[in-house]
Amino acid sequence: MNYLAIDASTEACSVALQINGKLYSRYDLCPQSHSLQLLPMVDEVLKEAGIKLSQCDGLIFGRGPGSFTGVRIGVGVAQGLAFTANLPVVGVSSLQAMAQLAFMQGKVQGKVKGQQVSVIAAIDARMGEVYNGYFMLDENNIMQPQCAEAVTPPEQLAQHLSSVVNNVEYGVGTGWDAYSEKLSSLKSNTGTPDVLFPSAEAMLAIGVIALEQGKGVAAEDAQPVYVRDTVSWKKLPGRE
């Protein structure tokens, strides 16, 4: 089975293509340039693999949370590509993808003697908050969420995760550096995390299982997940 994954939900822009078990990928840190980079990346991996988009069996996209603009670009491109080639789509969390990438890079180990690996993903959400999620490895070597993704002030993250955290967890994402004084005690890895952004390769690993389980949806049903649904602005005098 052949699958394409794309992501533009954070400062990173990436594409991954799995063809007959072989992987082709592109990755670039390009803030403000996702709309220019994403489609050329898709064209590059398709040409490198020597196939057409219509030969894929499904499309995986980064659904957020992250940059509002980046998430919208990624979903829009996913819908356009899926409509063109009549492909089912699956959205993957950017937080889950970072946890998965930590496992794929060997930063965290699998289940050992019954002890579960756990990862806290935290993305700087600006406005004094972090997007966050808590993940543990399942029997398919996929990092699965243990609670609902949320956006919280960093000083409230420990309380928010108190029902699932059991020890010091591995941290991924940009939130740890942005609010290091308030968050550093929650993670076992010191300093800047090795995994700061999601990647399409990690989303591919997660999304392929969902597609093969028949969880793909039509292009028009591809939905972003912002977590923060509204932006709070200071009210102007005389305005509601």
pLDDT of residue 115: 58
Do 88 and 204 belong to one domain? yes
Reference 133, options 95, 100, 92, 185; nearest CA is 95
Residues near 199 by Cβ (< 8 Å), separated by ≥ 6?
7, 12, 14, 16, 25, 27, 97, 101
Range(s) of the domain holding residue 153: 95-186
DSSP tag of 86: T
Q: Give 163's pLDDT tier (boundaries 50, 70, 90).
A: confident
Do 84 and 12 belong to one domain? yes
Q: Would you say residue 118 has pLDDT above 80?
A: yes
Over residues 117-123, the mean pLDDT reads 92
- Is the alpha carbon torsion for 29, 31, 34, 37 positive or negative? negative
Q: Give 157's pLDDT tier (boundaries 50, 70, 90).
A: very high
For 24-63, the pLDDT digits (tens) are 999 999 988 999 999 999 999 999 999 999 999 999 999 9
As a whole number of angstroms, the distance between CA 66 and CA 8 comes to 9
User: Residue 56 domain-assigned?
Assistant: yes
CA 192 vs CA 96, 127, 169, 172, 176: distances in Å: 19, 21, 14, 9, 7
For 167-222, the pLDDT digits (tens) are 668 999 999 999 999 999 999 899 999 999 999 999 999 999 999 999 999 999 99
Reference 69, options 120, 126, 154, 26; nearest CA is 126
Query: Is the model more confident about 240 or about 71?
Result: 71
For the entire predicted model, the pTM comes to 0.92
Do 106 and 85 belong to one domain? no
As a whole number of angstroms, the distance between CA 175 and CA 130 comes to 6
Q: Give 230's pLDDT tier (boundaries 50, 70, 90).
A: low
Do 99 and 171 belong to one domain? yes
User: Residue 237 domain-assigned?
Assistant: no
Do 76 and 129 belong to one domain? no
User: Residue 164 domain-assigned?
Assistant: yes
Do 106 and 178 belong to one domain? yes
User: Residue 193 domain-assigned?
Assistant: no
CA 207 vs CA 123, 138, 183: distances in Å: 21, 15, 30
Do 89 and 99 belong to one domain? no
pLDDT of residue 238: 42
pLDDT of residue 237: 43
pLDDT of residue 31: 83
Do 174 and 102 belong to one domain? yes
Q: Give 144's pLDDT tier (boundaries 50, 70, 90).
A: very high
Reference 195, options 107, 68, 109; nearest CA is 107
Do 26 and 11 belong to one domain? yes
User: Residue 235 domain-assigned?
Assistant: no
Query: Is the model more confident about 140 or about 112?
Result: 140
Average pLDDT, the chain: 91
- Extract the tokens encoding 155: 């000083």
Q: Give 240's pLDDT tier (boundaries 50, 70, 90).
A: very low
Query: Is the model more confident about 79 or about 112?
Result: 79
Q: Give 116's pLDDT tier (boundaries 50, 70, 90).
A: low
Do 122 and 167 belong to one domain? yes
Q: How many domains in the chain? A: 2
User: Residue 236 domain-assigned?
Assistant: no
Do 204 and 85 belong to one domain? yes
- Extract the tokens encoding 176: 């740890």
Q: Would you say residue 112 has pLDDT above 50?
A: no
User: Residue 207 domain-assigned?
Assistant: yes
Q: What is the CATH number of the domain that holds 213?
A: 3.30.420.40
Do 156 and 43 belong to one domain? no
